[in-house]
Structure 1
Amino acid sequence: MALQRRLVVAVVTAGSLLCVYVLCVHLERPPSWSLKHPPGFSQAPRGSSSPAPREPRHNAPPPTPAAHPELTAASTIKAEGGDRTGTKGPPALQRQQDVRADGPTDPPFIGDAYRTEDVPPQTECGDDIRSRVKKTAFGGRFLEHVPVLQWAGDVTLEEHQRLSRYPGAHGWGGVDYKTLVETLSVLNASANRLLLDDWGRRGNASACSRCAVVGNGGILKDSKMGEEIDGHHYVFRTNGAIVKGFEQDVGSRTTHYTFSTNTLMNSLRSYAGFSGPPQSTETRYVFLPDHDRDFLLMKAAATHRLVERGRERAEDPTKYFGADVSVEKLKMYHPDFIRYLRNRFLRSGALTTKYKNLYRPSTGAVMLLAALHTCDQVSAYGFMTPDYRNYSDHYYDKSYHPVGFFINHDLRMEMALWQQLHQEGLIRLYVHR
């Protein structure tokens, strides 16, 4: 009996120990009914005290703000001959902390990397835009060393390979190397590299260069701004710039005429009273190259020959620029500059649509921003303001025509930019009084 009692005690003790072991193991394991992580959260792997890293978003689309994004620097790397700076950020105009990206954050067609050049200042202005911009909300996106113009020294096989990745005005895509060499090789004078090439003769001992940039907006009708416009050192105009008969409102001088071959031909067809670009001894012609036809017309004008091929084949360029046009009076915007303006100042939501290759800053916007990067002081006239519905599309319209909006330009974004530049004191924008 004693032996039997000892066996029963041993069995009970062993059973108790087994129950305790099973209970301890069960408490160490997570219960099968534990809550799942909510959507958008990732569970950390076992043995880790931090969440699992997300997959980096390569080729993420650019932001699509309603107005202007404040572009902030991402990772900075040396690429394509210059510093590459990514562009991300909300539409609010505020400086943000730099963010280092694990990989590319832009679609390849954006190409936020540019050639750089050092051009010594032409003036000794103590209150120029380049010194003031650093203290404004635009300081983080203003690159003063991106070349504004392209010339003979720019065309190489390496540059052609780099810029051929970008279409239209933003690169050399679609333009063959032979055409580039034949055209840009004639732009071999120092004047072809400088927008204000005659400042030494024109400055009249002035410390600062003052530029009037004149758009064609209806706000200029009955403005009586003509005398004030002509009082600047330089006067920029674009496209269907009709001066005759409107001198009291828009002035009479033109030192720089900006256009593409396409916009010039469209202006000749569309605007009664526009017979061609202004012609004077002080006028420079600044091409905004959209296609190879711009290079072909430039070459013909520089060599005083007929256009050799393309849509303008056999056209005589002297009827547009005069019989005495010289190579020094011909200039062409650099595709890096146009792409820089698009990426950092006018990065429209159109870039996220199927029409992204059609979009570029308007010709007037390129002209005004080129002046911003070149002149010491800039006054803008005839550009769109928030009350644009009160005025016809152009100051020379005989009857009211509303402003047209198309996918290739973002005019509302440009209007917001002019307001911001004016508020920051970087330009003086004419508004109706």
Structure 2
Amino acid sequence: MPRLRNSSILVVLAGLSTLFVFIYVKLLPDLGSFSDDLTGGLQHHNERVRVPPGESAINNPAVENRIHNQGNLQVEAGVRQNIDTNQIKQDFKPQKKVEEEDDDDNVGLKGWNFLWNKGNSGKDGNEENDVCKKRRAIKRFKSMATSFGKKFYENVPIFVNSSNLHFPESQEFQLPFGIDGSEDKFLDALKVLTKTDLPTEITNASCSRCIIVGSGGIIKDKKLGSTIDKYDIVMRVNGGLVYGYESDVGSRTTLRVSHPEGAPIRLDDYDPDAMFVLVVFKAPDIEWAKRVAASEKADFSDIKGGFWKGVARSVPKQPEKFRILSPAIVKETAFEHVKFPSFEGKMFKNVPTTGTVAIVMAIRLCDTVDVAGFGFDFRNPHSPLHYYENTPMSVVRHLKTHDLTLEKEFLRDLVEHRVINDLTGGLSWI
């Protein structure tokens, strides 16, 4: 009996060995499509390499190596499985199509960022072949606001015109959160600034991909210039310089979003074809825009105490290149999203920065929104605040009208909920 039992055991083991070999040879290669594979050797050839939150996808050797190595592993697996390795390599190239953003946000994450889905070609994102998700930014923004119990303004106007001046959300407060007491000044300015339509680069695009270039020192030496210039819309904030810094910030400008004190002083720092979007914080700002649009050299000597620093007396643009941002956008940004205290509409430490207002504007204008040059690195108080000057980071701690603590949480939420993508990574540690 012992000998028979041992023989039976040997037969069973031999059968199991045969089954194991069959599974290994015939079935194991297909399991990579359905199982988690920590080594990467069994990954399905449609798997995409994604950048962890807080990392930049541009000029990131770790990311490039992951893309390159994963591609090689999959091609090697293809040779063993006799599948078309050329098709695998093609799958790693950016897809050439425009897609509607999925209503299910979890499904929509498949195409988060074309920069994160770029293939082993090693080229930067935002090329003709890249996937652009239509209305991705605004859908995710609304979803995020709803999940946080925040109010989302439906059909809010972007630029002020005579017909939308009395938009309900603009009525309650004075500037910068509403038009109360300034209606006549707006109407007077609109007699000069007669154009109020959206940029043709947005209205004519099947899917608009926008980047907002902030002035933060974090963008210095990142060499993002060529990548930035490939976007459909390039927005710049306040006095962000271009000439002499093209390798880092690009050379194109579609819109410059600024208030009078932030606008460049030198004429050479303006792109004559770019649109100037005025963010109104106080009544003299409206008068400034009207005068610089109507005169080659405006005079502001009669406006006493209207500006907290010197302002440009000339902006080399025709009146049709100016737009006035709706105060409803500033109000929504401040009180609904950043959650500043309203102080009954009075200005205190509750005014959003121009950069944050520009981001909210872009989310409503563009299908996809990326940012670069944003973030205050308080860990390094002596690091440069702006890429074009040596003012230290520490000065922002003494601002009287901006609460950067609340604002940074809002911006970080935008990144974490994939409403926007941060190319320079500054919003993960601010």
TM-score normalized with structure 2 length? 0.58
Match of 1:199 among 184, 202, 205: 202
One-letter amino acid matched to 2:137:
I
Deviation at 1:356, TM superposition (A): 4.7
Query: How far apart are 1:398 and its partner, in Å?
Result: 3.6
Compute the displacement of 1:366 (Å): 0.7
Question: What is the one-letter code of the residue matched to 2:202?
Answer: W
User: Which SS does the other structure have where 1:425 is aligned?
Assistant: coil
Report what 1:220 is aligned to.
219
Matching residue of 2:138: 130
Listed as ranges, the matches of 1:220-369 within 5 Å are 220-264=219-263, 268=265, 275=266, 278-304=269-295, 306-307=298-299, 309-311=302-304, 320-322=314-316, 325-348=317-340, 351=342, 356-357=347-348, 359-369=350-360
1:262 is paired with a residue whose SS is helix
The answer to whether structure 1 residue 147 and structure 2 residue 157 are counterparts is yes
Question: Is the contact made by 2:376 and 2:385 (CA closer than 8 Å) also made in structure 1?
Answer: no
Distance 1:399 1:332 in 2: 29
Residue 401 of structure 1, CA deviation? 4.2
Q: Which residue of the partner structure matches residue 188 of structure 2?
A: 182
CA-CA distance at 1:160 after TM superposition: 10
Contact 1:168 1:357 survives alignment (8 Å): no
The answer as to whether partners of 1:304 and 1:318 remain within 8 angstroms in 2 is no
Contact 2:234–2:254, Cα closer than 8 Å, also in 1: yes
Distance 1:431 1:165, change over 3 A: same
Q: Residue 138 of structure 1: CA displacement?
A: 4.8
Give the superposition deviation at 1:397: 2.5
Partner letter of residue 173 of structure 2?
Y
Alignment CA distance shift 1:178-1:280 (3 Å): same
Aligned position for 2:33: none
Quick one: structure 1 residues 247 and 354, their matched pair in 2 at CA, closer, same or farther if it must change by over 3 Å? same
Q: Is the 8 A contact 1:277 1:321 kept in 2?
A: no
Distance in structure 2 (CA, Å) of the matches to 1:422 and 1:220: 17
Letter in 2 for 1:411: L
8 Å CA contact retained: 1:174, 1:292: no
Which residue of structure 2 lines up, in the alignment, with residue 170 of structure 1? 177
Q: State how many pairs are aligned.
A: 285
Query: CA 1:287–1:277 in structure 2 vs 1: closer, same or farther (change >3 Å)?
Result: farther
Distance 1:397 1:318 in 2: 19
Please tell me whether the aligned partners of residues 255 and 275 of structure 2 are also in contact (alpha carbons under 8 angstroms).
yes
Residues 377, 427 of structure 1: 8 Å contact kept:
yes
Tell me the residue number matched to 1:426. 419
1:41 equivalent in structure 2: none
Query: Does the aligned pair in 1 maintain the 2:236–2:257 contact within 8 Å?
Result: yes
CA RMSD, aligned part only?
Answer: 3.4
Check 1:400–1:326 CA distance in 2 against 1; reply closer, same or farther (3 A cut): closer
- Structure 2 distance, partners of 1:364, 1:149, is 17
Paired residue for 2:403? 410
Greater Cα shift, 357-366 or 124-133: 124-133
Counterpart for residue 385 of structure 2: 393
Contact map agreement 1:164 1:174 (CA 8 A) in 2: no
Q: Is the 8 A contact 1:149 1:331 kept in 2?
A: yes
CA distance in 2, matches of 1:371, 1:210: 10
Q: CA separation in 1, counterparts of 2:221 and 2:280?
A: 34
Match of 2:54 in 1: none
Is the alpha carbon distance of 1:307 and 1:170 closer, same or farther for their aligned partners in structure 2, counting shifts above 3 Å? Answer: farther
Whole-angstrom CA distance in 2 between matches of 1:260 and 1:141: 26
Cα contact 2:211–2:369 (8 A) shared by 1: yes
The letter of the residue matching 2:186 is: L
In structure 2, give the amino acid aligned to 1:221: K
Change over 3 Å in CA distance of 1:388–1:211 after alignment to 2:
farther
Identity %: 24
Aligned to 2:314, the other structure's residue is in SS state: helix
For the Cα contact (< 8 Å) 2:134–2:367, is it kept in 1?
no
Look up the match of 1:10: none
Q: Matches of 1:174 and 1:253 in 2, distance apart?
A: 37
Q: CA deviation at 1:302?
A: 3.8
Q: Which amino acid aligns with 2:407?
A: E
How many angstroms does 1:148 deviate by? 1.7
2:40 aligns with none
TM-score by length of 1: 0.57
Distance 1:277 1:289 in 2: 24
5+ residue gaps, structure 2, are 1-131
Instruction: Give deviations 1:246-300, integer Å, cap 9, x for gaps.
Output: 1111112111111112333xx75xxxxxx35842243000111122222212222
Gaps of 5+ in 1: 1-123, 269-274
Mapping 1:84-123, distance limit 5 Å: none
State the AA in 1 paired with 2:414: L
1:234 aligned partner, one-letter code: I
Query: Given that residues 226 and 249 in structure 1 are in contact (C-alpha distance below 8 angstroms), is that contact kept between their aligned partners in structure 2?
Result: yes
More helix by share: 2
Residue identity in the other structure for 1:141: K
CA distance in 1 between partners of 2:313 and 2:299 (Å): 12
Greater Cα shift, 415-424 or 178-187 = 178-187
Counterpart Cα distance in 2 of 1:353 and 1:299: 29
**Residue 383 of structure 1 is aligned with which of 374, 378, 393?**
374
- Match of 1:342, SS state, is helix
1:174–1:291: 8 Å Cα contact kept in structure 2? Answer: no
